[in-house]
Amino acid sequence: MRIAICPGSFDPVTKGHLDIVTRAAALFDQVIVLVVHNPAKQPSFTVDERINMIRKVTGSLQNIEVDTYGGLLADYAKLKGACAIVKGLRAVSDFEYEFQMALANKKFYPEAETVFVPTSLENMYLSSSIVKQVAMFGGDISGFVPSVLLQEIEQRLSPRTY
């Protein structure tokens, strides 16, 4: 079985995340969407909330598992016997950082290849940070996040009261 890990903070889940996960699911037998702990970030949603959001938007995909891990990604990939780590790329600026991480992961777990998936054209500008900023100023984020998550994300991030 060809297992891939699709790691990220997913804070919150965007249409861009869903696009990459869906495309990875078409390429591999199993995809583990991994909510990683990034000590450099202050999340808006708890790990459990992010896991539940991912499960809501990937429920129709039979080969998706959602998990969380607090250690090195390479260690998790080895633990799961993954053959690939899938990373979405929006722009050239993403590549430099992701390439460095890919080399580090390869050093620690040579059995896994990093697969870079370019984002779809409509999601090139999209990030969780953009979603947070637009929502914080009361802007419309309906084009940025899956509709099933819109109300939940707006309630947390938008200054409007519901």
Q: Indicate the annotated binding residues for ATP.
A: 9-10, 17, 88-90, 98, 123-129
17 catalytic residue (yes or no): yes
56 catalytic residue (yes or no): no
Binding-site sequence positions:
9-10, 17, 41, 73, 87-90, 98, 123-129
Q: What is the dihedral of CA 24, 114, 90, 93, to 10 degrees?
A: 180
Do residues 86 and 115 touch, judged by C-beta distance below 8 A?
yes
Among the listed residues 2, 37, 41, 55, the single catalytic one is: 41
Rounded distance, CA 149 to CA 138, Å?
16
- Own/partner contacts of 129-135, CB < 8 Å, gap of 24 or more, are 131/12, 131/14, 131/157, 132/12, 132/44, 132/157
147 catalytic residue (yes or no): no
Among the listed residues 15, 17, 50, 80, the single catalytic one is: 17
Among the listed residues 90, 106, 120, 132, the single catalytic one is: 90
Binding-site sequence positions for substrate:
9, 41, 73, 87
Among the listed residues 15, 50, 80, 128, the single catalytic one is: 128
Measure CA 91 to chain center: 16
Rounded distance, CA 116 to CA 60, Å?
24
Do residues 68 and 79 touch, judged by C-beta distance below 8 A?
no
37 catalytic residue (yes or no): no
Catalytic residues: 17, 41, 90, 128
